[in-house]
Structure 1
Amino acid sequence: MNGVKSWTVTLVFYFLILAVLIANLDGSSSLFGIIPKRANSSQKPPHLHLQQLGITGSRLLRFFQDNLLEFEGASSLPGDEQPGISLYYDSFKKYLYDAPHGPPRPLECNPDKSIVAKLTKDVQPIPVHSHNDYWRDLPLFQGIAHGAISTEADVWIYPKPTNADTPEDEYILAVGHNEVFLDPVHRTLDGLYTGPLADMLDQVNCVEGHKSGVFYDSPEDTLFFYIDFKSQETHLLYKLLMDKYLKPLMDKGYLTYFDLESKKLVWNQITVILTGDFPKDLGVIDNGENGYYNDNKRYAFQEANILEPTALEPNASVVSTSSLSNLLEKCGYNERSILSQGQMDNSLTKCIKSLISQSHEAGLRTRIWGVPNWPVSFATNLWHQQVENLGVDLLNVDNLDLAQSIF
């Protein structure tokens, strides 16, 4: 009987040892709180000295992905009491906004330690439009980190989650592709785009006499910002866009504008392009004859059509766009014919280039959407042809890593 008890005690003892070992394999767990966690003083969280490592751009994104579990305890920015978009987004944004070894100071005047420096130092801007950018894991940041000089947000009018005092405040602009899946708390135009853009530009434009954009090594480059109108209430959407979301950027001089008096285009850090169901009447765009803000300047530009580059009034546009299928039809081709060849033949490129040239002669940059992205070899062939043979200014891209690799 004593032998049985002895074996029982021994088995229980070995079981406890085994449980402790299993619970502490990663050095972060403990057994029912009885045995403390194993400290690992030789390893510091990877984000503590991240900026000193000089990791920026797409390499920074990969670092966060590879070490995401290290950020599991990262909280949202101060004031964000509710859970954010995702662990990846929240921890990444927190790193961008945090000053090294100190609390978040988003408006500190130190361009070399700014969000722009952390994100785009050593990043080469490339002629890429981040298509459906809001679908990405890191809206806005991901495209810019890859060097994309154009981004896109689909916007919907949505009832404001909180009580409002005035009719204008009853609605917000939510960002998303489908109205059913909108998140009016976290995925708003100011939360994902205009707010971060203002913070980024404030940090690198705090020294008098300097004018810098979102690309650290190419501060003179503008960021094309496409606003895709999805709601049918076109005029209300435009009013909300101008009054609430773009005005703070305009007040600080960050928006490209057309001077209605001198008839000159003045490029600034952000160039707003209206696409989708935007207002076609310049009387609405300019709110009369003196510009929307009554300063004789036009801050939002209508998207023109490559097939009819001069259909809109002069100086209403800076970019023209068309689908590949419409261009193929205009030139007497179809997608199947170019897929069978693996590229566009000389006759087709000559035809489309003549259409692109008409836009260029009208002073417009160009973008073609609806270009197949599979097979990969076919997609990359068409990318090269767009840039090298057609002279397209903005490649409509879903796969940013692939696009960055060919430039």
Structure 2
Amino acid sequence: MNGVKSWTVTLVFYFLILAVLIANLDGSSSLYGILPKRGPASPRQPLAHLQHLGVTGGKLLDFFQEHLLELPEHIESSSPRISLYYDAFKNYLYGPGDNARPVNCNPDRSIVAKLTRDVQPIPVHSHNDYWRDLPLFEGIAYGAVSTEADVWLVHSPSLADGVTSEDVILAVGHNEVFLDPVHRTLDQLYTVPLKTMLDQVNCREGHRGGLFYDSPENTLFFYIDFKSEDNVLTYKLLMDNYLKPLADAGYLTYYDLHNNELVWNQVTVVLTGDFPKDLNIVDNGNADRGYYNTGKRHVFQEADILDPTALDTNASVVSTASYSRLLEKCGSSDKEVLSQGQLSSATVKCIRSYIEKSHDAGLKTRIWGAPNWPKNLAVNVWTQQVKELEVDILNVDDLKVASNTF
């Protein structure tokens, strides 16, 4: 009988403890004062004090995505400029206080080091880069050697007719309806971050650093896609307000108009879309001195793979064509490639003949519009472009898959 009572007391005790635990799971209640009521749980903020994780490339992107809900309080409570993810990621890259440049010159603690240490550059173009969660930074983190920004002229709504270049900016986006002329501009998303990164790794005299930690000699192809009708004003704005700081710092690839020599630097600007075709406009009427009157041409017009010599000599460094146009020229089609799962040997031979003409003209090549789905077809065609066609820059939407392929 005593044993039964003992077991009864034990069970009651355990049920009491269980009730207490259940009542306190949310930290908002107590059970008859037996356990004190807990205050609000302190938020975990693993990103609040991070300065140099030591994780780079795709792993760094994965880390931030995994901890996206654990953002520092000062970021959560503020209105995001681009997004909470972008703002938190940039805050980590730039360091405490959002400083654009460290007080002490230390390239090994730079944004470039945080992004690309142990990352190998891959022959990939970050297609529609501005659509990504982390414009510019994401492509570089995966090692993509090419990026792009679609630019539009945006006028202040308060201005009257007859605006000048001082009244407009270049906003970045795919569709004119969804432009953000405050935060998503060419300088905020691209040119200023590029200069900041390059300043940090070129702070020591005599040492030349690029955007890839392990391959500082690699250039980043920077495609500027002209979208607005007034391409002359777009070009003037681009040169005067956005590219000049990069040119003045010596970061832009240029063509030496005096010595007839191409000089590669950290960033190579390629004009695409509805850009000015007249070199007189490109050189600002100074055929011998260039736009900035320095004897250098700092931008390059995109050539056509199907007619690589159509533009003026030395005006281009890259030629481009659409996948569908090349297939049509070679008697093939998207449907045929899809059914075969890859480009046929005859199609490869035909397209390669065009690629070789561009190479003979001293141009690198890029094909856009190749299939992204199904994945096995996309990877097959990517591989054929690089290995069989010898395309120099692979147009890619899924950077993660591409980084695991090459």
Is TM (by shorter chain) over 0.5?
yes
Among candidates 57, 66, 89, match of residue 92 of structure 1: 89
Q: Which residue of 2 aligns with 1:174?
A: 171
Q: Shift in Å at residue 72 of structure 1?
A: 5.0
Where 2:241 maps in the other structure, the secondary structure is: helix
Where 2:338 maps in the other structure, the secondary structure is: helix
Q: Shift in Å at residue 38 of structure 1?
A: 3.7
Q: Give aligned-pair identity as a percent.
A: 62
Where 2:388 maps in the other structure, the secondary structure is: helix
Q: Which residue of 2 aligns with 1:282?
A: 279
Q: Which residue of 1 aligns with 2:388?
A: 389
What CA deviation, in whole Å up to 9, does each residue of 1:140-187 have, x standing for no partner? 0000000000000000000247989x9332100000000000000110
Cα gap change, 1:162/1:213 in structure 2, threshold over 3 Å: closer, same or farther?
Answer: farther
Given that 1:258 and 1:315 are in contact with CA atoms closer than 8 Å, whether structure 2 keeps it comes out as yes
Q: Which residue of 2 aligns with 1:266?
A: 263
Where 1:283 maps in the other structure, the secondary structure is: helix
Q: Shift in Å at residue 105 of structure 1?
A: 3.3
Paired with 2:352 and 2:111, the residues of 1 have a C-alpha distance of 39
What CA deviation, in whole Å up to 9, does each residue of 1:179-232 have, x standing for no partner? 000000110000000010010000000000111111011001000000000000
Paired with 1:123 and 1:271, the residues of 2 have a C-alpha distance of 20
Instruction: Kindly provide the amino acid, as one letter, of the partner of residue 92 in structure 2.
Output: Y
Range 237-246 or range 286-295, more displaced:
286-295
Q: Shift in Å at residue 284 of structure 1?
A: 0.3
Cα gap change, 1:324/1:202 in structure 2, threshold over 3 Å: closer, same or farther?
Answer: same
Paired with 2:348 and 2:133, the residues of 1 have a C-alpha distance of 35
Instruction: Kindly provide the amino acid, as one letter, of the partner of residue 86 in structure 1.
Output: S
1:400 paired to 2:394: no
Given that 1:318 and 1:365 are in contact with CA atoms closer than 8 Å, whether structure 2 keeps it comes out as yes
Q: Shift in Å at residue 104 of structure 1?
A: 3.7
Q: Shift in Å at residue 73 of structure 1?
A: 1.9
What CA deviation, in whole Å up to 9, does each residue of 1:252-291 have, x standing for no partner? 0000000111000000000000000000000000111120
Given that 2:48 and 2:72 are in contact with CA atoms closer than 8 Å, whether structure 1 keeps it comes out as no
Given that 2:107 and 2:200 are in contact with CA atoms closer than 8 Å, whether structure 1 keeps it comes out as yes
Among candidates 105, 108, 117, match of residue 99 of structure 2: 105
Given that 1:161 and 1:184 are in contact with CA atoms closer than 8 Å, whether structure 2 keeps it comes out as no
1:250 paired to 2:247: yes
Instruction: Kindly provide the amino acid, as one letter, of the partner of residue 373 in structure 1.
Output: N
Range 177-186 or range 337-346, more displaced:
337-346
Q: Shift in Å at residue 335 of structure 1?
A: 1.2
Cα gap change, 1:335/1:50 in structure 2, threshold over 3 Å: closer, same or farther?
Answer: same
Instruction: Kindly provide the amino acid, as one letter, of the partner of residue 325 in structure 1.
Output: S
Q: Which residue of 2 aligns with 1:22?
A: 26
1:57 paired to 2:57: yes
Q: Which residue of 1 aligns with 2:7?
A: none
Q: Shift in Å at residue 333 of structure 1?
A: 1.2
Q: Shift in Å at residue 103 of structure 1?
A: 3.6
Q: Provide the aligned C-alpha RMSD in A.
A: 2.4
Where 1:390 maps in the other structure, the secondary structure is: coil
Given that 1:24 and 1:38 are in contact with CA atoms closer than 8 Å, whether structure 2 keeps it comes out as no
Q: Which residue of 1 aligns with 2:211?
A: 214
Q: Shift in Å at residue 82 of structure 1?
A: 5.3
Cα gap change, 1:206/1:20 in structure 2, threshold over 3 Å: closer, same or farther?
Answer: same
Given that 1:160 and 1:184 are in contact with CA atoms closer than 8 Å, whether structure 2 keeps it comes out as no
Instruction: Kindly provide the amino acid, as one letter, of the partner of residue 375 in structure 2.
Output: V
Given that 2:126 and 2:148 are in contact with CA atoms closer than 8 Å, whether structure 1 keeps it comes out as yes
Q: Which residue of 2 aligns with 1:364?
A: 363
Range 331-340 or range 140-149, more displaced:
331-340
Structure 2 unaligned segments of length 5 or more: list them. Answer: 1-17, 30-36
Paired with 2:80 and 2:399, the residues of 1 have a C-alpha distance of 28
Equivalence map 1:194-209=2 (5 Å): 194-209=191-206
Paired with 2:20 and 2:159, the residues of 1 have a C-alpha distance of 56
Q: Which residue of 2 aligns with 1:36?
A: 39
Paired with 1:399 and 1:19, the residues of 2 have a C-alpha distance of 48
Given that 1:258 and 1:265 are in contact with CA atoms closer than 8 Å, whether structure 2 keeps it comes out as yes
Where 1:360 maps in the other structure, the secondary structure is: helix
Given that 2:351 and 2:389 are in contact with CA atoms closer than 8 Å, whether structure 1 keeps it comes out as yes
Where 1:93 maps in the other structure, the secondary structure is: helix
Cα gap change, 1:18/1:140 in structure 2, threshold over 3 Å: closer, same or farther?
Answer: same
Q: Which residue of 2 aligns with 1:83?
A: 80
Cα gap change, 1:15/1:277 in structure 2, threshold over 3 Å: closer, same or farther?
Answer: farther
Q: Which residue of 2 aligns with 1:122?
A: 118
Paired with 1:377 and 1:272, the residues of 2 have a C-alpha distance of 32
Where 2:73 maps in the other structure, the secondary structure is: coil
1:136 paired to 2:132: yes
**What number of residue pairs does the alignment pair up?**
376
Q: Shift in Å at residue 329 of structure 1?
A: 1.1
Q: Shift in Å at residue 70 of structure 1?
A: 1.2
Paired with 1:193 and 1:387, the residues of 2 have a C-alpha distance of 27
What CA deviation, in whole Å up to 9, does each residue of 1:32-54 have, x standing for no partner? xx9523458xx762453462x41
Given that 1:161 and 1:185 are in contact with CA atoms closer than 8 Å, whether structure 2 keeps it comes out as no
Where 1:377 maps in the other structure, the secondary structure is: helix
Instruction: Kindly provide the amino acid, as one letter, of the partner of residue 211 in structure 2.
Output: V
Cα gap change, 1:54/1:247 in structure 2, threshold over 3 Å: closer, same or farther?
Answer: same
What CA deviation, in whole Å up to 9, does each residue of 1:315-349 have, x standing for no partner? 00000000011111111111111111111111111
Paired with 2:390 and 2:75, the residues of 1 have a C-alpha distance of 45
Given that 2:113 and 2:213 are in contact with CA atoms closer than 8 Å, whether structure 1 keeps it comes out as yes
Paired with 2:373 and 2:75, the residues of 1 have a C-alpha distance of 39
